[in-house]
Structures are given as C-alpha cells and as structure tokens.
Amino acid sequence: MEISRERLLWAYERMRLIREFEDRLHTDFAAGKIPGFVHLYAGEEAVAVGVCAHLGDDDFITSTHRGHGHCIAKGVDLRAMMAEIYGKATGSCKGKGGSMHIADVDRGMLGANGIVGGGPPLACGAGLTARLKGTDQVTACFFGDGASNQGTTFEGLNLAGIWKLPVVFVCENNGYAETTSPRYSVSGQDIAARARGFGMPSIAIDGLDFFAVYEAAGEAIARARRGEGPTFIEAQTYRYYGHFEGDSLKYRDQSEDAHYRALDCLNRFRTTVIEQELLSQAELDAIDAQAREAIEAAARFAAESPLPTAADLLTDVYVSYPAAGLWPFQEVNR
C-alpha cells in the first residue's frame, strides 16, 4: 500500500511522541509526581499510529484504560493530556479525570475508558450516528485481548455486523490482561477467528510492524467508508511496562522483555525507511530531538500548572442537558 513521505514523517513523529510521553510518565510516576492509576502504552505504538494514519478529525476512535497512545495518534493536545495526568486544572478534564478519562471530541477521540469492554458499544453508537446522518465517518475501536472476552464486545460485534456499521474493531493482543495470558483466558485461542462468527472479515497481524498495521487498517477503513460494514483486526503486540505503574511484573521474565524489545516497532520502522531510502537518518534523528523537547515542555507545563481548587469540586461533574441545549424531549409536567 502506498504511503506518502509526509505520512511517514507524521507516523514516526507520532510513534516517537508516544514513546517519549510514556517513558517520561514512567519516570515521573516513580518519583511520586503523578496521582492515581496509570497504564502505559510503550511498545504498542505501531497499532494506534498505523490505524489513526487513515483517520481525520471527523473520524472517531474509542479507547481503553491504556489510552495515551490512542490520544496522541489522534492528535490530542500533549500539554492538556500531561496536565490531566498530573491532576492539574489545565488538563483536558480540568484535572478531575486523570489518565483513564482523557477525551477530545473535537479530535474525534471519544474517551479513554476504565471499563474493560466499554469501547465496542460506544463505537457502535458513533458508527450508527454516521450511518443515520449519511456521512463517511469511520470509527476505530481499540480494545485488548482481555476485553475480547467481554459480553459487551460480543454485543458490539453483533450490532456492527447486522447494521453494517462503519466500525473497525482493533484488538490489541499484548499478551496479557493484567497478569493473565490469553493462552489461559481465551477459549479457542484464536481471537481473530471469533469475529468471523459475526460474519465480518477478520485478520491477525504483526502489530509490532507499522507497515502491516497500516495496510490492514487502510483496507478495513476503506471498506467501512464504502459502506461495506465492519472489519476486525487482531494486532499482536507487547507492552513494555507493567499492567499499571507499580506492577512488580512477577508473572513474566526478563528474557520475554528482551525478545520483544529486539522487535521494537520504532527501530523496525527506522530500519525499513532507511534501507528503502524513504527517509534519512538525519530526518529521523531530528524528529527524535523535537519529540524529546515537546514532551519536556508538556511535563514542565503540567508541573507548573495549578491544582483544581475546592470551589471546582462540583463543577463539570455532570452535564446539564437542558442548560447545554441538549435536552431532546418536550418538557412534560412532572
């Protein structure tokens, strides 16, 4: 599949920003600077970026508890993300949501999600909206191997199948749900095969290879835009850090980590584009330096931002539908 130089530069920049962002959070969390729970995406960058490379601001994504990579790939502001994770008033949810609630509807990022399997029904809602409005918007639905066992995921696959919704289901099989391997938890072992039972095309790919993800996602998203319905992609990948920051990782050994780090998606991308003379080493190095600076600036912004005040405690907690002009029903006497 063709890919322009601009798209390659964009893809490498996004993957590097995600890696720098996550590595920085790993350090800052250990230093006690981050409140709450944080799940890092480092290692899985090729999946989010390979999919979002085909999406514009009008398209939608749904995410997971491991959502930073999805947000960055969809273009969510880095400073607002960092400030949110630091719990600061300048954050995307004014510091009250944290890592697992970052959203940016203007960018089509419908929200990180603390509910495992929470994304597929939301993706069907976005897909149904596009169908009813007659737009060509596509929704990419990211979820994990663990979420592939959830009832909500099967319900979402079924609805998308019968209604031929423009949704691409992207299962990020990173080898673990918390501490549990899919070899133990996934009956039948083959996650991609499950989706075929819902009558949709389904493929398992090397999720550590940006180009494999780019190609599979490109075909799936084009099919959705043509109105031909959903596709399922199982992207086989790996998370470098623990399930959450603070995880002692007793369930896997160092050799496994070394095996996957040798297949690192950023290094493989660099090797491919240099060998094929698509981008130069100097261009890639310049992106590395800019990404380091951008993340440093975002972390500084977050650290220097104020905390929410006690007066903010009850604001932005619930949406007032009538006040926002969103109440869809006629007023009735109650």
Ligand X SMILES: Cc1ncc(C[n+]2csc(CCOP(=O)(O)OP(=O)(O)O)c2C)c(N)n1
CA distance to 45, 238, 291, 308, per residue, from 42 (Å): 6, 8, 15, 29
75 binds, options ligand X, Mg ion, none, Cβ within 5 to 8 A by partner type: none
- In angstroms, give the least distance from the CB of 176 to ligand X: 5
Q: b/e per residue, 38-55, with b = 16+ CB within 10 A?
A: bbbbbbbbbbbbbbbbbb
- In angstroms, give the least distance from the CB of 191 to ligand X: 10
From 155-163, 177-185, 224-232, 268-276, span contacting Mg ion (CB under 5 A) = 177-185
Local structure of residue 174 (DSSP, 8 states):
-
From 22-30, 82-90, 140-148, 262-270, span contacting ligand X (CB under 6 A) = 140-148
Q: Is 191 in the site for ligand X (CB under 6 A)?
A: no
Task: Please pick, from the candidates 63, 174, 231, 237, the single residue that binds ligand X as defined by CB under 6 A.
Answer: 174
Binding mask 18-57 for ligand X (x = CB under 6 A): ----------------------------------------
Q: Is 145 in the site for Mg ion (CB under 5 A)?
A: yes
From 77-85, 120-128, 151-159, 172-180, span contacting Mg ion (CB under 5 A) = 172-180
Chain centroid to Cα 102, Å, comes to: 11
Could you please report the per-residue DSSP string of 230-285? -EEEEEE---SS-SSTT---TTS-HHHHHHHHTT-HHHHHHHHHHHTTSS-HHHHH
Q: Is 146 in the site for ligand X (CB under 6 A)?
A: yes
Nearer to ligand X by C-beta: 195 or 302? Answer: 195
CA distance to 117, 138, 169, 229, per residue, from 224 (Å): 21, 6, 11, 5
Q: Which residues contact 102 (CB under 8 A, 6 or more apart)?
A: 67, 68, 71, 76, 81, 84, 85, 92, 93, 109, 111, 112
Q: Determine how many CB atoms are found less than 10 A away from the CB of residue 34.
A: 21
153 binds, options Mg ion, ligand X, none, Cβ within 5 to 8 A by partner type: none
Long-range interactions of 187-193: CB distance < 8 A, separation 24+: 191/145, 191/148, 191/234, 192/232, 192/233, 192/234
Nearer to Mg ion by C-beta: 45 or 145? Answer: 145
Q: Is 69 in the site for ligand X (CB under 6 A)?
A: no
Nearer to ligand X by C-beta: 100 or 291? Answer: 100
Q: Is 113 in the site for ligand X (CB under 6 A)?
A: no
- Token duo for residue 150: 């959830």
> Considering CB under 6 A, how many residues would be counted as binding ligand X?
16
Task: Please pick, from the candidates 3, 9, 77, 114, the single residue that binds ligand X as defined by CB under 6 A.
Answer: 114
From 110-118, 205-213, 214-222, 271-279, span contacting ligand X (CB under 6 A) = 110-118
Q: Write out the binding residues for ligand X, residues 236-255 only, by CB under 6 A.
A: 243
Q: Is 174 in the site for Mg ion (CB under 5 A)?
A: yes
* Interatomic CA distance for residues 51 and 48, integer angstroms: 5
Residue closest to Mg ion when measured from CB atoms? 144
Q: Is 242 in the site for Mg ion (CB under 5 A)?
A: no
For Mg ion, the binding residues (CB under 5 A) are 144-145, 174, 177
For ligand X, the binding residues (CB under 6 A) are 64-66, 114-117, 144-147, 174, 176-178, 243
